[in-house]
Amino acid sequence: MRRFEGRNAVVTGAGGGIGTAIAQRLADEGAHVVVCDAVEDLAHVTTDAILASGASASTAVFDVSDPGAVKDFAERLLAERGHVDVLVNNAGINRRGPLLDLSDDDWHTTMAVNVDSMFHMCRAFLPAMVSAGHGAIVNTGSQWGMYPAPGHIAYNVSKAAVIAFSQNLARDYAPAGIRVNVVCPGEILTPMVESGLAAKGIDVADLAAKVPFGRLGRPDEVAALVAFLASDEAAYMCGSVVEITGAQAVT
Ligand SMILES: NC(=O)c1ccc[n+]([C@@H]2O[C@H](COP(=O)([O-])OP(=O)(O)OC[C@H]3O[C@@H](n4cnc5c(N)ncnc54)[C@H](O)[C@@H]3O)[C@@H](O)[C@H]2O)c1
């Protein structure tokens, strides 16, 4: 499939597990992908892999929670490429712990990276999308934003906000031709989940046993869903909250 031929896509957190897979998938389908990450080396690994596969990509290194950096990035990119067709707000962090174990910084940084980033990125790219009369935004929420797992209050609240933000944005800008949807993954095997397993002293097999499919999800499986939502095939999907969990119940 070449659903993104001639289109420009921005993917944040594209140096990490799910973001890398999304960037590669959109590029495989013809998009020029701007690989965004706060960690320069990680961003370059993704961009180099896309280029090595014969697809098109460039790198942008900035912190999505920094409004000035986001504004500069958007202005530079729009001047260079004219339009952004697809925006995937995927960057996120998980500061773990119940309320009394969290610092002020844990709370505020989680909100800044997971939620404020969406505000900054969407404010930066929406005007051009509205002028063009089209654009697809896919935000990464979490199953835990809908059904909170214990011990992750900052993360879960931030992801609930991502879902609410996405639904509100969808309703406000659907009349302008902008589609906004949110994906809510369950347990996907990425560096974020691996660090959580290490912190809890459990291994992948223990976690996999809790999933009805008997395994964790793969980043490319989330990428396939994001690509669908970002494509014209999802023309009537807007304001949708789509879980991808292998049927796992949160316990
Ligand atoms: N892995 C899962 O099981 C899972 C489940 C539900 C939701 N999610 C969500 O999916 C998204 C991707 O998760 P992942 O598992 O691939 O995580 P990851 O930690 O593997 O990758 C996240 C990437 O985001 C980047 N990043 C972090 N903070 C940033 C910032 N301030 N500015 C720019 N880039 C920044 C990191 O450098 C990293 O490359 C996150 O929003 C996460 O909350 C993941």
Domain positions in the chain are 8-102+109-244
Measured from the Cα of 155, ligand 1's closest atom is: 43
Residues framing ligand 1 (Cβ under 6 A): 12-13, 15-19, 37-39, 42, 63-65, 90-93, 113, 140, 142, 185, 187-188, 190-193
Please say if 147 is a catalytic residue. no
- Sequential DSSP letters for 86-98: EEEE-------B-
Quote the ligand 1 centre to 74 CA distance (angstroms).
21
Quote the ligand 1 centre to 191 CA distance (angstroms).
8
Tell me if 164 sits within 8 A of 182, measured CB to CB.
Answer: no
Measured from the Cα of 42, ligand 1's closest atom is: 39
State the Cα–Cα distance between residues 84 and 94, nearest whole angstrom: 28
Tell me if 32 sits within 8 A of 81, measured CB to CB.
Answer: yes
Probe ligand 1: pick from 39, 113, 119, 192, max atoms within 8 Å of CB? 192
Quote the ligand 1 centre to 131 CA distance (angstroms).
30
- Output the CATH code of domain 8-102+109-244: 3.40.50.720
- Identify which of 157, 86, 94 has the alpha carbon closest to the alpha carbon of residue 122: 86
In the chain, the percentage of residues whose pLDDT exceeds 70 is 100
| 68-87-33-116 Cα dihedral, nearest 10 degrees | 30
Tell me if 181 sits within 8 A of 238, measured CB to CB.
Answer: yes
Across the beta sheet with 178-185, what order do the strands follow? 56-61, 32-37, 8-12, 86-89, 135-140, 178-185, 241-244
Q: What is the pLDDT of residue 250?
A: 80
State the Cα–Cα distance between residues 158 and 142, nearest whole angstrom: 9
Specify the residue with its C-alpha closest to ligand 1, atom 12: 18
State the Cα–Cα distance between residues 238 and 222, nearest whole angstrom: 18
State the Cα–Cα distance between residues 161 and 191, nearest whole angstrom: 23
pLDDT, mean of residues 69-90: 98
pLDDT of residue 249 exceeding 90, the answer is no
Measured from the Cα of 112, ligand 1's closest atom is: 31
In the chain, the percentage of residues whose pLDDT exceeds 90 is 98
Under 8 Å CB-to-CB from 111, ≥6 apart: which residues? 154, 157, 158, 161
The string of pLDDT tens digits covering residues 87-140 is 999 999 999 999 999 999 999 999 999 999 999 999 999 999 999 999 999 999
Burial of 131 (0-12, 13-18, 19+ CB in 10 A): exposed
Under 8 Å CB-to-CB from 87, ≥6 apart: which residues? 9, 10, 121, 122, 125, 129, 135, 136, 137, 138
Measured from the Cα of 219, ligand 1's closest atom is: 16
pLDDT, mean of residues 175-204: 95
State the Cα–Cα distance between residues 122 and 88, nearest whole angstrom: 10
Quote the ligand 1 centre to 89 CA distance (angstroms).
10
pLDDT, mean of residues 49-70: 98
